[in-house]
Amino acid sequence: MSENPPMEAARYPDGSILYPSHPVGPDGNEPIETVDLSEYTAEVITWTSSTATPPGVRQPNHIAIVEFDVEGEPVRAIGQLTTGDVEIGQQVEPVYVEELREPGAGIREPASQTWDGYRFEPV
């Protein structure tokens, strides 16, 4: 078992899995369990390298939308990449990072949310 916090998605009664979780799912019901996406690999759907980044964000900021396959259920996620050397269709795995951007450097109240999470690294 990893000692890192889970990359927590939520499974809903209709079988759908959403990341991040929402109070209710597409069927209007509350989630029935959590799924740790850090145990899976994902496919890059699209990516970009952003050079005009806001305060407290690395520059350039490589970002991807990826799709996990959790026992046949597609689950989309977004997050930073560890590299800008990536292609659509490539497999990536989540890598834990304690601080994705500098809390308090931007407009968002630091205490209002978490700042750790997972970057995606090509497998």
Partner 1 sequence: MERVAIIGASMTQFGQREAWIRELLAEAGQACLDDAGVEGSDIEQLYVSNMASGEFEGQTGIPNAVAHDLNALPAYTARIDQTSSSGGAGVYGAWQSVASGVSDLTLLIGGEKMTHRSTAEATDVIASLTHPAEYKHGLTLPSFAGLTARRYLHVHDAPRESLGKVAVKNHKNGVDNPHAQFQKEVDLETVMESPIIADPLRLYDFCPITDGSAALMFCPESVASEYTDDYVTISGIGGATDTHVVHERMDPTVMGGVVESGELAYEMAGIGPDDIDVAELHDMFTILEFLQSEGLGFFEKGEGWKAIEEGITDRDGELPINTSGGLKSKGHPLGASGVAQVYEIYQQLMGTAGPRQVEAETGLACNVGGFGNCVITTIMEAAQ
Residues that bind partner 1 (CB under 8 A): 18-20, 45-58, 61, 63-65, 74, 76-80, 84, 88, 100-101, 106-108, 112-117
Closest distance of CB 89 from partner 1, Å: 9
Among 5, 39, 33, smallest CA distance to 21 is for 33
Cis, bond preceding 6 (omega within 30 deg of 0): no
Structure token digits, residue 20:
């991040």
Min dist CB 106 to partner 1, Å, is 5
Q: Which is nearer to partner 1, 2 or 46 (CB)?
A: 46
Element (H, E) at 49: strand 42-50
Q: Which is nearer to partner 1, 45 or 95 (CB)?
A: 45
